[in-house]
Structure 1
Amino acid sequence: MKNNARGIGVGELVALIISSSIGTGIFGIMNDLANAAAAGPALLAWVFVGVGILALVLSLNNLSVKRPELDAGIFSYAGAQFGPLGEFISGWAYWLSAWLGNIAFATMLMSSFGTFFKVFKGGQNLASIFGAIIIMWLLTFLVNNGVESASFINTIVTICKLIPIFAFVVIMFISFKVGIFTADFWGNVANNVLHNGKTVSLFEQMKGSIMVMMWVFIGIEGASVLGNRAKQKSDAQKATIYGLISLLIIYILVSLLPYGVMTQAKIATLQQPAMGEILRHVVGSWGSVMINLGLIISTLGAWISWTMLPAETTMLMAKDKTLPKSWGKVNKKNAPTYSLMITGVMQTIFLFSLLFTEYAYNFAYSLCTAAILISYLMVGTYQMQFSYKKKEWGQFVIGVIAAAFQLTAMVLAGWQQVLMVTILYIPGFIFYYLSSKENARAINKNEKFTIGAILLIAVIAIVMISTGAIKVG
């Protein structure tokens, strides 16, 4: 999409980042986190993840300043390092992540509607799926009517949805008891309850927390992806820092304060959205109603952002000739209609998988997180390469930390999900081939080897799923 005089300012970009990240995850993170770790290990995991995300944000800011011509989103850095195929691999992963995140939104949203309308209870039945499809297409047509107008709506929604989250934090502060928080700080008692007496080490608890925490941070790169729509390039840089600081404070408070109100074992057994159930425990049923209303607003707001991001991604990839030109065609409102329609169709098809997946929400967000780790990893490696050539050793260290963190998360916490994501590259490489043919660009030997290796991994993943070595959902 072309830039225009109107553009998006710092405030709207920060709202976009916060809204993209604060979606369904924050309303259920306390339950998912309590299933993985006690308060102590969770706090250490937040420090670990915070350092990794900070390194990613600093890398994005550095590259944005020093390579301003690479304005096609975070995947353009992979293109600068590895060529067209590298940009495609990163961009396709980012596109997958964006619409897979929408599937997680749909599951939690319809489950929240189930609090008020029993026909949607659970969020995975046919009524929920058709309801989610209707909402998804309504949002698609909204974005198709102009991205800037959608981002303005998103800013208003962000303000509205933060109110119940703020109320939750205040109530948790008032109800917080130090004795409850410190009673089982390292999880020795909870291990007996949640893991049938099995000892879970500090390392295992931290490892189990990583994917949960990474899920709620997805969207932090939003200002970089939409940076070409900012009034000034510096607006995107400021927005990423402001957004990260705000998110860290919000997430740590929301996820850790409940450990001082209820035991880890009780939090781990709560139904989703756990935030509502915790308030029900503290203040009564009105607290649950308030949170579910906030969840509905939050999810719809984040869903607007995540409808914008995949469309912007594929449009920019088409502009850089890693996808066919048709993916980049825009309408009179300057929105990529073709890309929006394809993404909408993919989401519609995938929504029906909710009927066959026992834990649809966890399955969708884990795949979403695994996919974006691929894009984040390539940002870190390019930060290393670029800083090494410039002999900027401080920036090089930042790149090492960013890349090492993403790789660690992929290997320790999400290797099964990463394998499953490779399966979704099978149709992707068809589009890459069509783009190469359309632009008279030969696929060289290194690219053929890389494509072959990824396809081999995809086949291995399919075999592992079919034999039960990888559990789907």
Structure 2
Amino acid sequence: MSTEVAQNAPAKLSVPALTAMVVGSMVGAGVFTLPQRFASQTGVYGALIAWAIAGTGMLMLAFVFQSLAVRKPNLDNGVYVYARTGFGIYPGFLSAVGFWASACAGNTFYWVLITSTLKPLVPAFGDGDTIWAVLVSSVFVWGFYLLIMRGVKEAAGINAIVTAAKILPLLLFVVVTIFALNPDVFIANLTGGYDIGGESLFGQVQGTMLVTVFVFLGIEGASVYSRYAKKREDVGRATVLGFLSVLALFATVSIISYGILPQAELANLRQPSVGSVLEAAVGPWGAWFISAGLIVSVLGAFLAWSLMAAEVLYAAASDKDMPAFLSKWTAKGVPGNALLTSTLFIQLLLVVVFIAEGALDFMLDLTAALALMPFALAAGYALKIALTRDGYTGVARSTHTRELIVAALAVAYTLFLIFAAGPQFLLLACLLLAPATLLYLVARREQRQRLFTAPGLAVFIIVLIGAVLCVVGLVTGFVSI
């Protein structure tokens, strides 16, 4: 998941600046967890297939954001507005809530990862899920809230420090592990056990899908801030260039780790597993080096994504799809009520961390699962306008056909992700979205507007049924946290 999505972007950004924003958006804490997460699910073959699927699918999404930026240049704030324009106010509201909740869950993940990383120094932190870890995380969460309320925002200097803190350790990791790679260990890790009665190759690949979504969160970064681009076309170019660079880095980090330790040992490494792998290659200093870079990176990421989450709520409230109180700004230029709402939700998720089994993996998967619907709706909107030729006046037939195919592939990919996520996280998402609908109802009452259209009501009923099933699942044990 991402780091510095620029909040104080200059008036106009060039392609290189936008590309850097996309790379910064996607290269975050998630990449530091890849060796363990992949090894717990699959071997080299499965990892290669997973990255091929994720790379192709996410590239289609990158092209979708590119085409939407060109075909619908009047739409800003990306994911939320595409869903609202394409499918109606309530689906757009759900997309905004999903994207916001995903950002908040990702911020919770950051604190679990930080406290887990500090376990060698503070054993009481455990794996980030102990009472002491939750209390310390809560103190810092509210400390950041107070800083932001005072007008502290992510500046260019902080961005530069954060970027160096995460990119340099990863580059060192790649170089060192390439030289330390053991061919015999790598070959032994090829199959992941499917050839000796273990999980099927398809099952292995399916198990990696949510983590690939998590690490690519931020792909929409340039689109969210498309109003800052010198040219609307630059948004798409930056998205694709940034994506290809990040894909190469992510795949390399996960694959070469199979040449350092046996899969069973990789699967049981403590997080951040990039540091544990480097420690196995060069000694303890490797783990400390990675951990230091990770902590600096994550602190910057938390600040950036706190602002991102607040901006999503503010944008929805500005469009009158959420209550008006969320659109209020403080004298310091901060959407204070939106920020407070986000901070309270992060605090609630920290309580969930305390009771969750496998808190780090749970928050990672929840973050990814909540982002699926906004991505699916954006892809669906791209397919819709391509089918209806909306925005394609004067566009060459070959361009229209290509964008139609890309949108269809992106829809197919996001539907596959929803299938791969499994029912548990879909039901948990419904459990969040159902009560969040109260905000939508308040907003509609404020505007004296009809609560639901017929399609919107049908969607709400589906969400409500999912929430009820989730509660039943939690009671019966079918759904667990």
Q: What range describes the TM-score normalised by the shorter chain of this pair?
A: over 0.9
For the Cα contact (< 8 Å) 2:322–2:442, is it kept in 1?
A: yes
Contact 1:93–1:372 at 8 Å: present in 2 too?
A: yes
> Which amino acid in the other structure matches residue 404 of structure 2?
F
Seen in structure 2, the aligned counterparts of structure 1 residues 223 and 136 have a Cα distance that, compared at 3 Å, is farther
Letter in 2 for 1:71: D
Pair 1:170–1:295, CA change in 2 (3 A):
same
- How many angstroms does 1:378 deviate by? 0.5
The answer to whether the Cα contact below 8 Å between 1:36 and 1:209 also exists between their aligned partners in 2 is yes
Is the counterpart of residue 134 in structure 1 residue 139 in structure 2?
A: yes
Deviation at 1:288, TM superposition (A): 1.0
Give the 5 Å matches for 1:39-438.
Answer: 39-144=44-149, 149-150=154-155, 153-188=158-193, 198-230=197-229, 232-390=231-389, 392-438=400-446
TM-score (norm 1): 0.92
Deviation at 1:37, TM superposition (A): 0.6
Partner of 1:457: 466
After TM superposition, give the deviation of residue 80 of structure 1 in Å: 1.4
% same residue? 30
Q: How much is the aligned-residue C-alpha RMSD, in angstroms? A: 2.3
Q: Is the 8 A contact 2:7 2:304 kept in 1?
A: no
Tell me by how many angstroms 1:117 deviates.
3.0
> Deviations 1:332-362 (Å, cap 9, x if unpaired)?
3433111001101111122122221121111
Q: Deviations over 1:263-310 (max 9, x none)?
A: 212211212221121122111111111111111112112222211211
The one-letter code sitting in structure 2 at the alignment partner of 1:227 is S
Distance apart, 1:149 and its partner CA: 4.0
Deviations 1:174-220 (A, max 9, x none): 112333222341223xx59xxxx743211111111111211111111
Whether the 8 Å contact between 1:29 and 1:255 is mirrored in structure 2 is: yes
Deviations 1:215-269 (A, max 9, x none): 1111111121122344554453333122211210110111000111222122112
How far off is 1:5 after superposition?
6.4
**Distance in 2, Cα, partners of 1:438 & 1:399:** 36
Please tell me whether the aligned partners of residues 87 and 381 of structure 2 are also in contact (alpha carbons under 8 angstroms). no
Aligned to 2:393: none
Q: How far, CA to CA, are the matches of 1:382 and 1:148 in structure 2?
A: 33
Instruction: Measure, in 2, the Cα distance between the counterparts of 1:303 and 1:227.
Output: 22
Distance in 1 (CA, whole Å) between partners of 2:114 and 2:360 is: 10
CA distances 1:139-160 after superposition (whole Å, capped 9, x unpaired) = 3344445586446523431122
- Residue 82 of structure 1 and its aligned partner are, at CA, apart by 1.2
Residue 427 of structure 1: SS of its match in structure 2? helix
Distance 1:3 1:20, change over 3 A: closer
- The whole-number CA distance in structure 2 between the counterparts of 1:8 and 1:168 is 31
Letter in 2 for 1:442: R
Letter in 1 for 2:292: L
C-alpha separation in 1, matches of 2:232 and 2:328: 24
Deviation larger for 380-389 or 132-141: 132-141
CA distance change for structure 1 residues 8 and 324 in 2, over 3 Å: closer, same or farther?
A: farther
**Cα displacement (A) at 1:405:** 0.5
Tell me, yes or no, if structure 1 residue 20 matches structure 2 residue 25.
Answer: yes
Opposite residue 402 of structure 2, the aligned amino acid is G
Change (3 A) 1:469 1:289: same
- Tell me the TM-score normalised to structure 2 length: 0.91
Asked if the contact 1:172/1:258 (under 8 Å) is kept, the reply is yes
